[in-house]
Structure 1
Amino acid sequence: MDTRRHTKSTGPVALPGHGRRRLARRDHLTGHHTDCAVGAEKEVTGTLTFGVGTAIDNKLDDARIVRLDQRGYFTTVYDGVAYPDSYLDSGTMSDIVGGNTIPRCPRMPWALCADPARAFAATMIGAGEEVPTSFAVGNYQAIGDQGLGAVGDAAIAADTGSRTFVWGAPYFLGKRIALVFDGMSVPGGTGQTGPFFAFR
């Protein structure tokens, strides 16, 4: 019996659950983002697939794997600072970024305004691996003024002293992201046992 389901959504997919663990309620999320000048669209189309490694369209293949700690977190290192309580959350409409190197928006001091938009390097550290990645930051104020719903470079500032870096809905756009639950293994002999997430 094929238990996979597919759905389309306008804007980021908010997964059921509560608090910051929403992603842990689903196994596999695939998003598609059409490139545009400001890194945003009114809507995007994506696929939500249940199961990892159970069918041809949900294999891990060459995905980068980040294992989670016993609390469901991993560490993000950005601008030389470690954020040990980092997590993925497709229900958070922007990335939540620590530090003071990205300018704040004049009318929205809680939001980040990189103008022009650009990518920032970061490293995700799990239990035994370091995975270089990046996130984009644009002009949050301009994005809000345009009323765009699916934004690849929206970011807000974390509270001072926060131990958390939130990889929100913008990080999901254009990626295939899978989550394997604690104690579960992926069919096909990958040798990996959850909890971990993988992306490509």
Structure 2
Amino acid sequence: MSARPQRFARAPGVAQIGAFALCAALSACGGGGSSPAGADASGSAAASAPGTGSTANTGSTTPPGNTNGTVAQSSTPNVVAVTVSSTPTSTRNMLMTSVMVCVPGTTDCATIDNVQVDTGSQGLRLLASALPAGFALPAVPAGAGSDPAGACSAFGTGYTWGAVRRADVKLAGEVAASLPIQVIADPAVPAAPSGCAGLGLAMNSPATLRANGILGVGPFNADCGAGCVNTALPSWYYTCPASGCTPSVQPLAQQVSNPVANFATDNNGVVIDLPAVADSGASSISGSLIFGIGSQSNNALGSATVLRSNTGTGYVRTTTSDGSVYAQSYLDSGSNALFFSSSTLTRCGVWYCPSSPVSLGATISGTDGVSASVDLSVTNAQTLFGSGNWAFDNLAAYTSRVFGWGLPFFYGRRIFTAIEAQNTPAGPGPFFAF
């Protein structure tokens, strides 16, 4: 995608930098926020090579958290159900949940189903068409003015465009009050300006977004951060009078923000807990999105290995058994495959399609040198698609510069994503742990 400033970067998918992967139902997409792509049963590939990057913060304005490991304990219900199953767009490995949004301070609420859970981006983004008619969420102004703010979100497959509005976001017993969210394809703002529309496929409908929205619960607090506070960066925020939209600065409190970081408690990260799947895949799976780290008995780190990520980019490092080193690597539930480069694996389009399953080894390392050894398996993508299943832990695709541990890596694990500067029993985020 564009060379825009990035905070948390990933392979193709929603919220990224790098080459566009035009995600028809036939394509491979991953990394990046909620990668709204996949492949149909034919396994045909219709995408360019995965890119590198995700919508992420260009700089934090949050002061460092305390480092003594003390975390306030909570008794708030903190679990929402997540599922992977068939989708209308034949997209594999899409992790979905439901989100309730309310007009701030009221009981005028709506529950939106089929929202993708994405640990690779920040903020809630909902299609305007998924909201009830007449659902009046207040507009967020651009900068210090009174004109409505437009938000452009770049992903590996294209972009979302819409208005910034405030909503009370309710998940289990947690509430992010008056949170700035993006309402995609909101008719209240003019058409996407060229700086946004030039980012590829307009993912402004259920068919192109492949979901009703994206729940970004990644390692940062806001989608752009300090960079947008100080500079009117192209393809981020816009001031949108009726005459058209122009780039604008945007105060942090008016940026699309991570709901979890705005909870009263259980606000230092998330745990995604998914069951293992067979080598042939599963027709559906059910798991949990748990809020907080070390704040309740159900989100304790236990013996998980903590891999600290770069505070500016969110990256960790991956070294594969063939000696390849990927300084840009990430764990991302919004990628529907494992993304990496291999000169030996047979490809069918962007997918890997070896004649028989291939086992590989890798080491994931944090910025402090702590590492974890992991094994992965790659099975012929066309064989997997032909099975009629929807959840796979051995689906992989090509990308040239990063190693993306997408949703296949999450099966059979409890994976923690800690938010920047928020304290946990292992110290402040950002980090991943499993």
The TM tier, using the shorter chain, reads 0.7 to 0.9
Equivalenced residues, count? 188
Deviation at 1:155?
Answer: 0.2
Higher relative contact order (CA 8 A, sep 6+): 1
- Do residues 8 (structure 1) and 82 (structure 2) align? yes
**Cα-to-partner distance string for 1:8-48 (whole Å, 9 max, x where unaligned):** 3134423254648945156111101243x52x111111111
What secondary structure, in the 3-state scheme, does the structure 2 residue paired with 1:100 have? coil
RMSD over aligned Cα atoms: 2.1
Deviation at 1:103?
Answer: 2.4
Structure 1 stretch displaced more, 165-174 or 126-135 = 126-135
Residue of structure 2 in register with 1:123 after alignment: 363
Deviation at 1:114?
Answer: 3.2
Please tell me whether the aligned partners of residues 118 and 138 of structure 1 are also in contact (alpha carbons under 8 angstroms): yes
Structure 1 stretch displaced more, 94-103 or 14-23 = 14-23
Residue of structure 2 in register with 1:176 after alignment: 414
What secondary structure, in the 3-state scheme, does the structure 2 residue paired with 1:33 have? coil
What secondary structure, in the 3-state scheme, does the structure 1 residue paired with 2:84 have? coil
Identity of aligned residues (%): 25
**Cα-to-partner distance string for 1:88-117 (whole Å, 9 max, x where unaligned):** 11111111111213222xxx2321123432
Q: In the alignment, residue 6 of structure 1 is paired with which amino acid? A: V
Q: 1:182-197 residue pairs with structure 2 within 5 A?
A: 182-186=420-424, 190-197=425-432
Q: 1:86-165 residue pairs with structure 2 within 5 A?
A: 86-104=329-347, 108-128=348-368, 129-159=370-400, 162=401, 164-165=402-403
Structure 1 stretch displaced more, 164-173 or 20-29 = 20-29
- Do residues 83 (structure 1) and 326 (structure 2) align? yes
Deviation at 1:124?
Answer: 0.7
**Cα-to-partner distance string for 1:129-169 (whole Å, 9 max, x where unaligned):** 1221122211111111223210110001113xx2x111111
Deviation at 1:3?
Answer: 4.2
1:191–1:177 distance in 2 versus 1, CA, 3 Å? closer
What secondary structure, in the 3-state scheme, does the structure 1 residue paired with 2:82 have? coil
Deviation at 1:173?
Answer: 0.6
Structure 1 stretch displaced more, 134-143 or 170-179 = 134-143
In 2, distance between residues paired with 1:74 and 1:141?
30
Q: In the alignment, residue 367 of structure 2 is paired with which amino acid? A: A
* Correspondence for 1:31 among 270, 274, 287: 274
Q: In the alignment, residue 198 of structure 1 is paired with which amino acid? A: A
Normalised TM-score (structure 2): 0.41
In 1, distance between residues paired with 2:345 and 2:352?
6
* Correspondence for 2:297 among 53, 56, 77: 56
Please tell me whether the aligned partners of residues 277 and 392 of structure 2 are also in contact (alpha carbons under 8 angstroms): no
Runs of at least 4 residues off by over 3 Å: 16-23
Structure 1 stretch displaced more, 25-34 or 131-140 = 25-34
Q: In the alignment, residue 58 of structure 1 is paired with which amino acid? A: N
Deviation at 1:180?
Answer: 0.8
Flag structure 1 segments of 5+ consecutive residues without an equivalent.
none
Please tell me whether the aligned partners of residues 23 and 88 of structure 1 are also in contact (alpha carbons under 8 angstroms): no
In 1, distance between residues paired with 2:426 and 2:324?
31
Deviation at 1:123?
Answer: 0.8
In 2, distance between residues paired with 1:192 and 1:115?
45
Flag structure 2 segments of 5+ consecutive residues without an equivalent.
1-74, 86-93, 96-115, 122-152, 157-214, 219-257, 259-268
1:22–1:7 distance in 2 versus 1, CA, 3 Å? same
In 1, distance between residues paired with 2:289 and 2:407?
14
**Cα-to-partner distance string for 1:158-192 (whole Å, 9 max, x where unaligned):** 13xx2x11111100011000111111221xxx443
Q: In the alignment, residue 93 of structure 1 is paired with which amino acid? A: N
